[in-house]
Amino acid sequence: MLRIIPLGGVTEIGKNMTLVEQDGEILIIDCGLMFPEEGMLGVDIVINDFRYLIERRDQVRGIILTHGHEDHIGALPYLLRDLDAPIWGTRLTLGLVNAKLAEWGLAAHATEHTIEAGERVQIGPFAVDTMHVSHSIPDGIGLGIHTRHGTIAHTGDFKFDPTPVDGRLTDFAGFERLGNEGVLLLITDTTNVERPGYVPSERIVGQTFHEVFQRAERRVIIATFSSNIHRIQQVLDVSAAHGRKVALLGRSMASNIEIARELGYLSVPEDTLITVPEIEYLAANQVTILTTGSQGEPLSALSLMATEEHKRVRIEAGDTVIISATPIPGNEDLVHRTINHLFRQGADVVYHPLAPVHVSGHAYQDEQKMMFSLVRPRFVMPFHGERRHVAHYARIVQAMGFPSDRVIRIEPGEVLELDGESARITGRIDGGAVMVDGLGVGDVSHVVLRDRQHLSQDGILVAVITVDRTTGKVVAGPEIVSRGFVYVQESESLIEEAKQRIHRELEALQEGDTTLDWAAIKMDVRSSLSKFLYAVTGRQPMIIPIIMEA
Amino acid sequence: MLRIIPLGGVTEIGKNMTLVEQDGEILIIDCGLMFPEEGMLGVDIVINDFRYLIERRDQVRGIILTHGHEDHIGALPYLLRDLDAPIWGTRLTLGLVNAKLAEWGLAAHATEHTIEAGERVQIGPFAVDTMHVSHSIPDGIGLGIHTRHGTIAHTGDFKFDPTPVDGRLTDFAGFERLGNEGVLLLITDTTNVERPGYVPSERIVGQTFHEVFQRAERRVIIATFSSNIHRIQQVLDVSAAHGRKVALLGRSMASNIEIARELGYLSVPEDTLITVPEIEYLAANQVTILTTGSQGEPLSALSLMATEEHKRVRIEAGDTVIISATPIPGNEDLVHRTINHLFRQGADVVYHPLAPVHVSGHAYQDEQKMMFSLVRPRFVMPFHGERRHVAHYARIVQAMGFPSDRVIRIEPGEVLELDGESARITGRIDGGAVMVDGLGVGDVSHVVLRDRQHLSQDGILVAVITVDRTTGKVVAGPEIVSRGFVYVQESESLIEEAKQRIHRELEALQEGDTTLDWAAIKMDVRSSLSKFLYAVTGRQPMIIPIIMEA
């Protein structure tokens, strides 16, 4: 029996990792990280629960990576700490992986096999064909995994760019060949299944740059993703063509450019890169600044420039700023805030969708149809999408004559069993999403998040008293400390009144009773303070009574 | 001298309130509330600082309301508590205002004057023409304010719907008449200036409803804004045409429908409304449920249905759910989460932009141009937009031959002075945005917000000791309580180690020193704990040392 287990994704199914199991032998596809969802306060990143794999470490034959984005490679250090498995990936992907592992001191740990897209590799019992795919990072691949029960085609993150910047088309023929041989299951990237038509070519962006550069009279500042090497190539080329030098801002921008350049994925026109201090020696119309911060991240170079807080670069009136990205949902406010600040400082801001300065890395509807038609699978499992994408994908292939019940509707962690004829969900593995906060992996529980949520809304009030261990009489306090509740300097009388209430509460409780139940007293204090504070302020801070015995 | 002061808007200029001043006599246009920006944790709403007006209460001649949306009337109760000014508005607008004031016990307070769109009213020294405008709520108006220095045209929130549901077109002729007489300043709604073309007619949505109802075999559930009376009218009409009864969910839905119906803005087909329990007595294809929650608000009826937590209505397989709204930026995640849950429960979900189930209430680019061409002002002040909208508007009218320097670039609270010939920004009034949290108006300072931000990310740790007042010896504690930091049950050794550290810290400090500086000791404890906790957890909780003297 063949088992497919899509993991990852708080909401996105199988985005970050998918397991293929045959006779207990496991192939891992990708090992990415996720970003915290709404409500995961203070959480830095989210990874999959690797317990299932760690318990079966002897059965893991290898990890194959489809491309070098964080949501596909970012959790490798967390997995490799506990599991020593060989890794397969293309040259750029492994270059990015190695930079990451080096930071974690895990470099020596990993056995790596470099894939040249188009070749077949053998990983345990699985022969795996690899097909080049276009995406918003170079050197992505799709997979054809040959199993005893049939072939699984996995698209990776893909689109069909007709005129890619590096001239490498998505490997239509490779996918079609799989289709001709017969595919049991297609696992396909449905991120953009809601958008009609085709993704415009990445070259469109280069043309827009060209037009913007032509009318720019002073500096051009471009913010984009540091992993979008083709975008960066176009920035370098257009700058060189217009007699501009390019200065880099942002740590990841510099390091990704270095990796891509070393490995031959980026060709830097001679004498084009300059350092930031060198900007000063050039005329404004000879300068391009390439920076991170396209998502309006508050501490990024672009945001700091927008608010005049950047130490080395100030926005000048007449500068042109290109935001070469779209806001990831949830970041719109931050991006718009940055754009407003830039306008305020006299810059001209060029942004999507007002100008075609960005294209997506994920196939649109017609590309989905094309992929489906090439592969013609028996079953299809949409990945890298939410339930709404699956529903939409099902509608599309149904309209193409495919039975809707052969579209697999699965949740992360569920197990799909295939025998070559039928496909059914038979259960789920232990685990789920694991939150990482600082050094802690999985130690932020829902209790902690609930408390953070509460604290973020109404703050906290701590009331402390010290009582005599033997008599039960109050010997110190009540002392009250609050944070995030009211502005303390203007609320002295409120706090004073709260203290009085605790006093009265304790006195009433102590009358005629010498055996005091401190737990019950704490509850009484909390409830009485809570009512009082709500009546006066309309807020419900977290209330923590502490009773010390001296 | 004529003074115009746009207020309101953390980012949106003049959205919620604009002041017109002539010889010290003040006309207030709108009095709305804003929603908290990113980072305003726990804040319920944001209003303008009314001090400027309250100090000049004898000079305020009246408040004129352009329409009944919360961002134009919602702050009235806060203003009217301190300022007794007469209010002008159309019938529906005043109906909604009265419901609001009644809740606040302010009803008797306000003197109200009902406007019939098209008429001229006199407010203090200002003759004010009123022109009907289409928007996403009925009975909106634009204004022509005649001052000694010239006429100010104010569009209100507007669009030019060619086939409005109630048959009332935006008053082209009224705006053109103003233009013919000469307009000094146009204050115009630029919310959608980034979108090319025209807003599709509201009737498009009715047609989509019709198509969806035709293929719906079971219940139809529609979520929309409760103030969008025309949308609601279409839901009622299409339901009646398809033999369905309509049940209402959500408090504001029921109350707005009642107000609109009473005032004649909504015509409910006979026997169409049913109560929620009556749903059970009807076949699934005879039921429409009209609900709030189109923004995915976690406690709304729709969200509760999506997560099977609603007490009275459960989603059934085969139900059709229409989200007749677009997510307000920042709400995408919540809306998508709701849609995913609905699909999971077997509903078919119809949402924007996959189907035309929503149109905007604000003019697109070509409508902006039309309004500008009708009014042909000497100066123009974009309102209800951010700086990026102002920049974009300037480009558009510049392309129409209008000098870009006559587009007023102003920030909320700044004062624009006009003398009929020139316009300049001469200063700003005191004030700004005031945050409302619970019953507190303006008592949440930036200190409180900064603390909430800190608490939300890493939580809090409180360390208490009680010392002998005379000897300085520790008589109780250290006691440590944490919330939102680590999961306490799994972190006992961490907390124990922290206690030991406080012990050692105190012992070291006390050796050979009897005059103890408790403030300095607190700082030492905080800094030493902070370093320790960061080294172990990678987190920086707020640390509050409390020293009690017994």
B446 is a domain residue: no
B362 is catalytic: yes
Domain that holds residue A521: 459-549
Residue B412, preceding bond cis, omega within 30 degrees?
no
Contacting residues of A for B78, CB less than 8 Å apart: none
Q: Does residue A138 register a pLDDT over 80?
A: yes
Lowest mean pLDDT among A101-110, B71-80, B97-106: A101-110
Contacting residues of A for B386, CB less than 8 Å apart: 336, 339-340
Tell me the sheet residues that pair with A22. A2, A25
Q: Tell me, what's the pLDDT at B446?
A: 87
Say if residues B349 and B381 touch (Cβ distance below 8 Å). Answer: no
Say if residues A64 and A128 touch (Cβ distance below 8 Å). Answer: yes
3-state secondary structure of B440: strand
Over residues B412-447, the pLDDT tens digits come to 999 999 998 999 999 999 878 899 999 888 888 889
Q: Do A147 and A229 lie in a common domain?
A: no
CA separation for the pair B458, B483 (Å, rounded): 9
**CA nearest B130: which of B117, B146, B114, B113?**
B117
Q: Do B421 and B322 lie in a common domain?
A: no
Tokens 């309130």, residue located: B17
Q: Does residue B544 register a pLDDT over 80?
A: yes
Over residues B145-198, the pLDDT tens digits come to 999 999 999 999 999 999 999 999 999 999 999 999 999 999 999 999 999 999
Q: How far is A299 from chain B (nearest CA, A)?
A: 14
Q: Does residue A251 register a pLDDT over 70?
A: yes
Q: Per-residue confidence at B110, pLDDT binned at 50, 70, 90?
A: confident
A305 is a domain residue: yes
Q: How far is B176 from chain A (nearest CA, A)?
A: 30
Catalytic one among B189, B237, B348, B458?
Answer: B189
CA separation for the pair A440, A458 (Å, rounded): 26
A9 is a domain residue: yes
B454 is a domain residue: no
Give Cβ neighbours of residue A195 (< 8 Å, ≥ 6 apart).
A360, A364, A365
Reported as half-sphere exposure (CB side, CA atoms, 13 A), residue B68 has a value of 26
Can you give the pTM of this predicted structure?
0.92
Q: Per-residue confidence at A512, pLDDT binned at 50, 70, 90?
A: low
Mean pLDDT of B15-28: 95
Q: Does residue B9 register a pLDDT over 70?
A: no
What ipTM was estimated for this complex? 0.89
Q: Tell me, what's the pLDDT at A514?
A: 57
Mean pLDDT of A179-192: 97
Mind telling me the catalytic residues of A?
Answer: 189, 362
User: Do the chains contact at B456 and A459, CB–CB below 8 Å?
Assistant: no
A137 is a domain residue: yes
User: Do the chains contact at B546 and A390, CB–CB below 8 Å?
Assistant: no
CATH code (residue A474):
3.10.20.580
A447 is a domain residue: no
CA separation for the pair B219, B268 (Å, rounded): 20
Q: Tell me, what's the pLDDT at A300?
A: 92
Q: Per-residue confidence at B489, pLDDT binned at 50, 70, 90?
A: confident
**CA nearest B86: which of B116, B122, B131, B134?**
B122
Q: Do B431 and B522 lie in a common domain?
A: no
Give Cβ neighbours of residue A425 (< 8 Å, ≥ 6 apart).
A408, A410, A414, A415, A416, A417
CA separation for the pair B466, B469 (Å, rounded): 9
**CA nearest A372: which of A363, A361, A384?**
A363
Q: Tell me, what's the pLDDT at B513?
A: 59
Strands (E), A404-523: 414-418, 423-428, 433-437, 440-441, 460-467, 474-483
Tokens 């945005």, residue located: B433
User: Do the chains contact at A452 and B354, CB–CB below 8 Å?
Assistant: no
**Of A439, A456, A475, which is closest to B537 when you measure between CB atoms?**
A439
Structure tokens at B272: 């169409």
DSSP B48-112: E--HHHHHTGGGEEEEE-S---HHHHTTHHHHHTT----EEEEHHHHHHHHHHHHHTT-GGG--E
Give Cβ neighbours of residue B249 (< 8 Å, ≥ 6 apart).
B276, B289, B290, B291, B292, B301, B302, B312, B313
User: Do the chains contact at B481 and A344, CB–CB below 8 Å?
Assistant: no
How far does CA B252 lie from the centroid of its chain? 15
How far does CA B368 lie from the centroid of its chain? 23
Over residues A380-411, the pLDDT tens digits come to 999 888 899 999 999 999 999 999 999 999 99
Q: Do A145 and A290 lie in a common domain?
A: no
Q: Do A47 and A143 lie in a common domain?
A: yes
Contacting residues of B for A328, CB less than 8 Å apart: none
Length of chain A as a residue count: 550
Q: Do A107 and A236 lie in a common domain?
A: no
Over residues A433-492, the pLDDT tens digits come to 899 999 888 888 889 999 999 999 999 999 999 988 888 788 888 999 999 999 877 788
Q: Do A96 and A181 lie in a common domain?
A: yes
Q: How far is A440 from chain B (nearest CA, A)?
A: 6
3-state secondary structure of A452: helix
Mean pLDDT of all residues belonging to chain B: 93
Determine the residue of chain A that is closest to B196 in CA distance: A354
**CA nearest B364: which of B209, B196, B531, B235?**
B196
User: Do the chains contact at A448 and B486, CB–CB below 8 Å?
Assistant: yes
Tokens 């992907």, residue located: A93
Best of A364, A451, A469 to mutate (most B CBs within 10 Å, chain B): A451
How far does CA B176 lie from the centroid of its chain? 32
Q: Do B19 and B50 lie in a common domain?
A: yes
What burial letters (b/e) apply to A51-84, b meaning 16+ CB within 10 Å?
A: ebbeeeeeebbbbbbbbbbbbbbbbbbbbbeebe
Torsion sign (Cα): B450, B456, B457, B459: positive
Q: Tell me, what's the pLDDT at A9?
A: 62
CA separation for the pair B113, A452 (Å, rounded): 48
B189 is catalytic: yes
B482 is a domain residue: yes
CA separation for the pair A72, A496 (Å, rounded): 55
Domain count across chain A: 3
**CA angle, residues B144, B147, B148, in degrees to nearest 5:** 150
Structure tokens at A472: 């039960």
Structure tokens at B307: 């997560």
Give Cβ neighbours of residue B324 (< 8 Å, ≥ 6 apart).
B205, B222, B223, B224, B231, B235, B294, B352, B357, B358
Interface A-B: count of C-beta contacts within 8 A: 223
Q: Do B98 and B145 lie in a common domain?
A: yes
- 8-state DSSP, A276: G
Q: Tell me, what's the pLDDT at B514?
A: 57
Q: Does residue A509 register a pLDDT over 80?
A: no
Mean pLDDT of all residues belonging to chain A: 93
Over residues A86-125, the pLDDT tens digits come to 999 999 999 999 999 998 888 777 799 999 999 999 999 9
Contacting residues of A for B455, CB less than 8 Å apart: 452, 455-456, 459-460, 483-484
DSSP A197-240: S-PPPTHHHHHHHHHHHHH--S-EEEE--TT-HHHHHHHHHHHH
Domain boundary, last residue among A441, A467, A490: A441
Q: Tell me, what's the pLDDT at A298?
A: 87
Q: CA of A96: how far to CAs of A70, A73, A230, A273, in Å?
A: 9, 9, 15, 21
Contacting residues of A for B532, CB less than 8 Å apart: none
CA separation for the pair B373, B120 (Å, rounded): 23
Torsion sign (Cα): A163, A166, A167, A169: negative
Catalytic one among B67, B362, B384, B389?
Answer: B362
Question: B83 φ, ψ to 5°?
Answer: -150, 125
User: Do the chains contact at A444 and B487, CB–CB below 8 Å?
Assistant: yes
Domain boundary, last residue among B351, B380, B398: B351
Q: Do B172 and B36 lie in a common domain?
A: yes
Q: Do B138 and B8 lie in a common domain?
A: yes
User: Do the chains contact at B330 and A334, CB–CB below 8 Å?
Assistant: no
Q: Tell me, what's the pLDDT at B3?
A: 97
CA separation for the pair A52, B246 (Å, rounded): 49
Q: Tell me, what's the pLDDT at A76?
A: 96
Torsion sign (Cα): B171, B173, B175, B178: negative
Q: Does residue A171 register a pLDDT over 60?
A: yes
**Of A391, A437, A491, which is closest to B539 when you measure between CB atoms?**
A437
Say if residues B89 and B61 touch (Cβ distance below 8 Å). Answer: no
B390 is a domain residue: yes
Instruction: Look at phi and psi of residue B61 and say left if phi exceeds 0, alpha if psi is from -120 to 50, else beta.
Output: alpha
Mean pLDDT of A120-147: 98
Best of A457, A489, A522, A532 to mutate (most B CBs within 10 Å, chain B): A457
CATH code (residue B115):
3.60.15.10
Domain boundary, last residue among B377, B410, B441: B441
CATH code (residue A228):
3.40.50.10710
Q: How far is A249 from chain B (nearest CA, A)?
A: 24
Say if residues A477 and B478 touch (Cβ distance below 8 Å). Answer: no
Q: Tell me, what's the pLDDT at A508?
A: 78
Q: Do B56 and B164 lie in a common domain?
A: yes
Mean pLDDT of B49-54: 94
